[in-house]
Structure 1
């Protein structure tokens, strides 16, 4: 066991340093996201969703750095990655709207002026009524109009269409499905 540790001492130290840097970076990122969520009074579920996205990004970055720390043959790795990316490229091209909705969800978290409980009108002929935002998910906005109909609207279209803020913080009933 000691021989193994001595032989791979440089890689083990590099791994420990990378993991420590990742943990510190992740801690700082999560603190910053929670602070932005609190300052902008963003719903806790939305904040946790963005934290999950950031954690996955940190993990992917850590794995990428560790591949280089351990000196894995880049030619062999290139062949594996090119094959994986070719398959993912075809799959993601087929599902590009899912990625655009997730990206729009992250953008909406950091820069969107509307919150759960706000009454809005989307300037889209297919959504003629005003509605109250009852939930914001990774892919969709969930709203309820004055007729009690629940509407689901994709995040990426919300960024593309004009939105009018009618009233801030309309009071919803306890289960969030109706207006008081």
Structure 2
């Protein structure tokens, strides 16, 4: 009888020691750090290659009803640079539709670092060489982002070639510490 009580007390004591040791010596769980509130990206929208002359200027007629495009996004200005996604858009280049809700550009990313899309509202037809556009949302890695986009294009005057559009994204993530009332 006494030995059963002794065995029970020793077993309980050993079990408590094991639990205490596991609690103090176990590694902490791996948690992803919270995303930074701001993200800056620099990338390039490549121009289409034509069969007759590679990378020459191609433009829509001035009286075009809508400009619909599908382009490749790269890390660097060269068209052989690593592809990180695509740029698609629908622009109505008519002055009375300059503030239309249809003027949207979607940047879709498919990389190890980022997966998702960014929606950009175009304010005008892009007649200038530098435009500042608004980010109105995103999905995946860019869920609910807001921010600005600076879109720039320069000509290569020596060869009359068009270099790709340079895009600088300045994104702000929402404050995720707030809870949604409900």
Q: Normalising to structure 1: TM-score of the pair?
A: 0.21
Higher relative contact order (CA 8 A, sep 6+): 2
Q: Which has the higher helix share?
A: 1
- Structure with more strand by fraction: 2
Higher gyration radius (CA): 2
